[in-house]
Chain A
Amino acid sequence: MRREEIKVCVMRVGGTNCDAETQRAFQDLGVQAEVLHVNELVKQGNLLDYNVLVFPGGFSFGDYVRSGVIFARSLSVKLGKEIETFVDEGRPILGICNGFQILVEYGLLPGFEGVTAYPEATLTTNVPQGFKCQWIHLKNENKGKCPFTSKIPKGKVLRMPIAHGEGRFLFPVEKEQQMLQKLIDNDMMVFSYCDENGNVADGKYPTNPNGSFHDIAGICNREGTIFGLMPHPERAMYWWQQPDWTRQKQMAQYGDGKLVFESLIDHLTKKF
């Protein structure tokens, strides 16, 4: 598949944000990207015309009940069949911030044994409590399964912003060690919070900004095709989005977020 043939669907509902930034990031890299409201996709019945599905950040349905759950459940009713096909065919799905919460609540992540009817994990209230809007460091933990990090060397430290109040990733307490082991064994760990030198946060605030279990910032499913992360790669795409751009004499044109989009596009051009 040629780069310009790739079609990305950025799915929107009331309360999503950063959809425009996500679309621009993809378009800048030479692929087709559209922002579509979920109702438009239901009406047109054309979700399967797209190669990639992205759930952007935000506060879908006002974060009512639990962040992401209303969108996830409504999606399973309205577009469940199409999502199933998307997953079965190995078409990539990306969830950023609220998008990650949607993927977890839907049962698409962690997806140890495929899609589950009920969520197997949660992204819950930050510890310490509060909405955190700051730049953090991430380490690529993936050994090669996840196409979204295929061009990022293992152990590389990236800089991206977070903006969330519910980003603390947890497994059920009684199964957390067992599930973590599965996550590591199946190469489903993608990003963990670390300091600027790549030292693990080990749960310590503010390096781990939300109290996430095992410093988890992003994971993929068993096949690697579904990827969710709390940080915003689309807000770390250009030099002028970096927090220190006024203090630097010279900066690279792109930020670290580009690597995520570029990795995915590279994977698609080779695989399909």
Chain B
Amino acid sequence: MKYRAKIEVSLKPGHSDPEGETASRLLKELGYTVEAVGVSKVYTIFLEAQTPVDAKAKAEDMCKRLLANPTKDNYTIAIEEQK
């Protein structure tokens, strides 16, 4: 089966996010009422797997080995079946 894994890697709470802070400051200068800005990365991965559980396990392994650093990153995985 073909699946699409949408992986979002974001900073763990409490980690300073200079890019988000800079964007937040500028949005305020542009006149928006902004409390905070968080920056995250989204990877969309197309893969083959037996089941959705298998697809998620593979995506999780990808996060651990490459896409996220456990010291600073959290990640979420959403699996969708592809027609």
Q: Which residues of A contact B (CB under 8 A)?
A: 65-66, 69-70, 73, 105, 118-122, 124-130, 170-173, 211
Contact = CB atoms under 8 A, between A and B. Distances in A.
The secondary structure that dominates the A interface is: loop
26 contacts: A65-B67, A69-B69, A73-B66, A105-B69, A119-B69, A119-B70, A119-B71, A120-B71, A122-B69, A122-B71, A124-B72, A125-B17, A126-B18, A127-B16, A127-B18, A128-B18, A129-B18, A129-B21, A129-B22, A130-B18, A170-B71, A170-B72, A171-B71, A172-B70, A173-B12, A173-B14
Contacts of B28: none
A118 B65 contact: yes
B72 A122 contact: yes
Contacts of B54: none
Nearest to B71: A122
Interface string B1-41: 00000000000101111110110000000000000000000
B58 interface: no
A109 B56 CA distance: 29
Contacts of A170: 15, 71-72
Contacts of A128: 18
Contacts of B66: 65, 69-70, 73
A127 B66 CA distance: 24
**Closest 8 A-B residue pairs measured CB to CB?**
A129-B18, A122-B71, A122-B69, A172-B71, A122-B72, A125-B18, A119-B69, A127-B16
A17 to B, nearest CB: 23
Contacts of B15: 124, 170, 173
Nearest to B18: A129
Nearest to B68: A66
Nearest to B65: A73
A82 B68 CA distance: 26
Contacts of A120: 71
A119 B17 CA distance: 20
Nearest to A171: B71
A62 B27 CA distance: 28
A183 to B, nearest CB: 14
Contacts of B69: 66, 69, 105, 119, 122, 124
Nearest to A72: B66
Interface string B45-83: 000000000000000000011110111100000000000
